[in-house]
Amino acid sequence: MPKKVFRAIYAVNYCIQAGFCMVCPAGLIILGGWLLRTRCGLGRWIMITAIVFGVFAGLYSMFHFLLTAARTMDPTAPPSSDVPSSHKKEDDPHGTR
């Protein structure tokens, strides 16, 4: 039972982090475009550029996080020191395995 709960919590954590990884770069770049438009008097083109670039940067950040997280081991798996020695893969000098 606790293993299922931990896996569900980790899944929710990954989903929240993936969303955060997408929203933060996009939001910051769009905010920068808005500030350049209102404070510096640049045209509408800066907002269009900021939105397009922000969305692509957010997507890249999210996919980078997901691919990095997918490479990690199962967080609920026991560390290798907790695995009994009978289950560890040992080098077989005769190649009989």
State residue 79's pLDDT score. 58
State residue 74's pLDDT score. 61
State residue 30's pLDDT score. 94
Q: How many CB atoms lie within 10 A of CB 33?
A: 21
Which has the minimum average pLDDT: 8-17, 69-78, 88-97?
A: 88-97
The token duo for 44 is: 């509408």
The predicted-structure confidence for 28-84, as pLDDT tens digits, reads as follows 999 999 999 999 888 899 999 999 999 999 999 999 988 888 777 565 666 555 555
C-alpha distances in Å from residue 71, one per residue of 65, 66, 68, 97? 10, 9, 5, 28
Q: What is the rounded (10 degree) CA torsion for 8, 71, 19, 15? A: -10
State residue 76's pLDDT score. 63
